[in-house]
């Protein structure tokens, strides 16, 4: 097969092959950080810094396992979930759970449309919310309809670089203001305490680092990048095992490089929220979302910071809508194919249906936003749904490891222990939130 090739062996060659993780990172540094993470910092101060770091680090093991299955089997994430044992109604119970989360993320993305509309208002736009929503979602649909993977990858990578670097710089610049972060603040943040109200923390846990949606996206971009194609089908040969191991090294590099990027960005947003918004006693609500978030940058840089925030907020939110739609269109096509509602006999068929989804999904985001009009509430709904999905994805990853992974590709015992620890902790957080909600009802 001409598509089969060995993985690069040196670091330079490996870095050239990275892409799926960077796209996931571009999608992550979006509403989760700019809205949910900063709101959490504004609400509780520094005390959950440890929780933010923990939420970013533990999911990478789950990400790699889902990628390992896709690389070795050449199957999409939904095809993988559909193979998990249990009742089926057209598709697996786990796929239906994913579908509920998938619909909930429409609320999250529609909330970002509202966020961009508020940013436009800060910039002096006189357009109505309806006009802005149509312009935002319509332009996204057009770009994706005509775009290809290379364009998406470059667009996302450049988007993430600008705002991440500036946000980290904004944190450092606080030292020249009244809101500089002290060693005592960091000590407080690493004290392993929990706030009385856990809903926003739970929502943040669902979207910081690799959220449940990004975990599902990741295998699709691994396929698009060609990882599984380069490995080829399992023919039982030593050559196949060596190729698979080589591309697993690339995949791990990809996952861990993206982890460093999104952890740095997430911590920076949280620290800004805790230092500036909590320090000034400024809340993050539906009506004053972007005006109050602009304090994160205007506190250090004045009017210049305000305009950089306007550019950066537009960049990060639009890129998230863009990448999420690109990913969701592939998922929607795959879902309807599994249900046998659309017929896909060739790559041309898949591309055609994906383009249809690239137009239909932004239209839904527009309708959701114009119907509800509360960006913080909308984003929180999607974030909570993602957090609820994490324990089920952990179960699936463990099932793939023990029942589906080629013996020669199984990780060492230390990796397995980390994976189990990650799965248990994610499930614990989910159960903790469930108990909290039950206590409220009582």
Whether 436 is covered by a domain: the verdict is no
Mean pLDDT check: name the lowest of 47-56, 146-155, 221-230, 249-258.
Answer: 146-155
Provide the pLDDT confidence category of residue 35 given band limits of 50, 70 and 90: confident
Cα gap 148→378, rounded to integer Å: 29
Residue 353 to residues 16, 210, 212, 325, 358, Cα–Cα distance (Å):
30, 27, 24, 13, 9
Residue 276 to residues 268, 269, 303, 383, 397, Cα–Cα distance (Å):
12, 10, 16, 23, 39
Put simply, whether the predicted model's pTM sits higher than 0.75 gets the answer yes
Q: Which residues contact 403 (CB under 8 A, 6 or more apart)?
A: none
Let me know: does 309 contact 298? Beta carbons within 8 Å. yes
Compute the mean pLDDT over every residue in the chain, rounded to the nearest whole number.
Answer: 84
Whether 435 is covered by a domain: the verdict is no
Cα gap 340→351, rounded to integer Å: 17
Q: What percent of the chain has pLDDT over 90?
A: 29
Which residue do the tokens 């960005």 mark? 265
Whether 441 is covered by a domain: the verdict is no
Average pLDDT of the segment spanning 294-298: 84
Q: Which residues pair with 88 in a beta bridge?
A: 92
With a cut of 90, say whether residue 335 has pLDDT above it: yes
Average pLDDT of the segment spanning 302-331: 84
Number of H helices, E strands in the chain: 20, 2
Whether 432 is covered by a domain: the verdict is no
Cα gap 297→166, rounded to integer Å: 9
Cα gap 307→315, rounded to integer Å: 12
CA 201, chain centre distance (Å):
16
Provide the pLDDT confidence category of residue 48 given band limits of 50, 70 and 90: very high
Q: What's the confidence (pLDDT) of residue 1?
A: 42
Instruction: Please report which helix (H) or strand (E) contains residue 293, including its range.
Output: helix 289-293
Q: Which residues pair with 89 in a beta bridge?
A: 91
| CATH number reported for the structural domain that contains residue 264 in this entry | 1.20.1740.10
Whether 289 is covered by a domain: the verdict is yes
Q: Which residues contact 58 (CB under 8 A, 6 or more apart)?
A: 209, 421, 422, 425, 426
**Position with higher pLDDT, 332 vs 160:** 332
Question: Could you tell me where the DSSP H helices lie in 84-179?
Answer: 93-122, 129-146, 149-173
Mean pLDDT check: name the lowest of 115-119, 293-297, 428-432.
Answer: 428-432
Q: What are phi and psi of 89, to 5 degrees?
A: -135, 80
Question: Nearest CA to 55 among 194, 205, 190?
Answer: 205
Cα gap 253→102, rounded to integer Å: 28
With a cut of 80, say whether residue 298 has pLDDT above it: yes
Cβ-count burial 142-166 (b if 16+ within 10 Å, e if not): ebbeeeeeeebbebbbebbbebbeb
Longest Cα–Cα distance in the chain: 64
Q: What's the confidence (pLDDT) of residue 32?
A: 67
Whether 426 is covered by a domain: the verdict is no
Tokens of 168: 């980290």
Let me know: does 195 contact 48? Beta carbons within 8 Å. yes
Which residue do the tokens 């994160």 mark? 296
Q: What's the confidence (pLDDT) of residue 85?
A: 92
Q: Which domain holds residue 317?
A: 11-410
Provide the pLDDT confidence category of residue 362 given band limits of 50, 70 and 90: very high
Whether 419 is covered by a domain: the verdict is no
Provide the pLDDT confidence category of residue 400 given band limits of 50, 70 and 90: very high
Whether 433 is covered by a domain: the verdict is no
**Position with higher pLDDT, 13 vs 40:** 40
Q: Could you read off the pLDDT of 251-284 as tens digits, one per residue? A: 888 888 888 888 888 899 899 999 999 999 988 8
- The count of domains in the chain is 1
Provide the pLDDT confidence category of residue 153 given band limits of 50, 70 and 90: low
Which pairing describes strands 91-92 and 88-89: parallel, antiparallel, or unpaired? antiparallel
Q: What's the confidence (pLDDT) of residue 379?
A: 83
Q: Could you read off the pLDDT of 191-230 as tens digits, one per residue? A: 888 887 777 788 778 777 667 888 888 888 888 888 888 8
- The 8-class DSSP code of residue 349 comes to H
């Amino acid at each position: 097969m001409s598509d089969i090739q060995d993985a690069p062996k040196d670091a330079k060659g490996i870095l050239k092959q990275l892409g799926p993780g960077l796209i996931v990172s571009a999608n992550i540094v979006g509403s989760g950080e700019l809205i949910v993470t900063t709101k959490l910092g504004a609400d509780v101060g520094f005390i959950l810094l440890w929780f933010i770091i923990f939420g970013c680090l533990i999911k990478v093991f789950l990400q790699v396992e889902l990628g390992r299955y896709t690389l070795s089997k050449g199957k999409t994430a939904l095809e993988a979930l559909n193979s998990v044992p249990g009742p089926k109604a057209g598709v697996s119970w786990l796929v239906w759970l994913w579908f509920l989360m998938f619909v909930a993320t429409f609320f999250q993305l529609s909330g970002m449309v509202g966020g961009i509309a508020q940013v436009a208002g800060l910039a002096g736009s006189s357009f109505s919310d309806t006009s802005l929503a149509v312009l935002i979602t319509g332009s996204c649909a057009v770009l994706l309809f005509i775009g290809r993977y290379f364009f998406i990858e470059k667009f996302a990578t450049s988007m993430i670089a600008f705002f991440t670097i500036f946000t980290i710089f904004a944190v450092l610049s606080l030292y020249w203001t009244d809101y500089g972060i002290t060693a005592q603040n960091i000590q407080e943040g690493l004290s392993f305490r929990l706030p009385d109200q856990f809903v926003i923390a739970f929502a943040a846990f669902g979207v910081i680092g690799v959220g449940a949606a990004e975990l599902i996206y990741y295998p699709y971009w691994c396929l698009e990048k060609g990882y599984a194609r380069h490995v080829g089908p399992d023919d039982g040969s030593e050559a196949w095992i060596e190729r698979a191991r080589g591309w697993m090294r690339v995949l791990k590099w990809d996952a861990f490089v993206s982890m460093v990027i999104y952890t740095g960005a997430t911590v920076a947003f949280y620290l800004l929220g805790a230092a500036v918004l909590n320090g000034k006693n400024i809340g993050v609500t539906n009506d004053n979302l972007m005006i109050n978030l602009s304090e994160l940058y205007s506190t250090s840089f004045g009017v210049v910071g305000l305009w950089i925030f306007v550019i950066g907020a537009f960049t990060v939110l639009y890129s998230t809508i863009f990448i999420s739609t690109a990913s969701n269109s592939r998922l929607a096509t795959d879902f309807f194919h599994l249900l046998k509602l659309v017929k896909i006999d060739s790559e041309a068929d898949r591309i055609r249906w994906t383009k249809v989804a690239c137009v239909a999904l932004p239209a839904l985001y527009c309708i959701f936003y114009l119907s509800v009009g509360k960006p913080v509430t909308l984003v929180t709904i999607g974030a909570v749904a993602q957090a609820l999905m994490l324990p089920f994805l952990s179960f699936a990853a463990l099932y793939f490891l023990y029942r589906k992974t080629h013996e020669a590709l199984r990780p060492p015992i230390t990796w397995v222990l980390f994976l189990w620890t990650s799965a248990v902790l994610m499930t614990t957080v989910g159960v903790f939130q469930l108990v909290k909600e039950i206590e409220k009802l009582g």
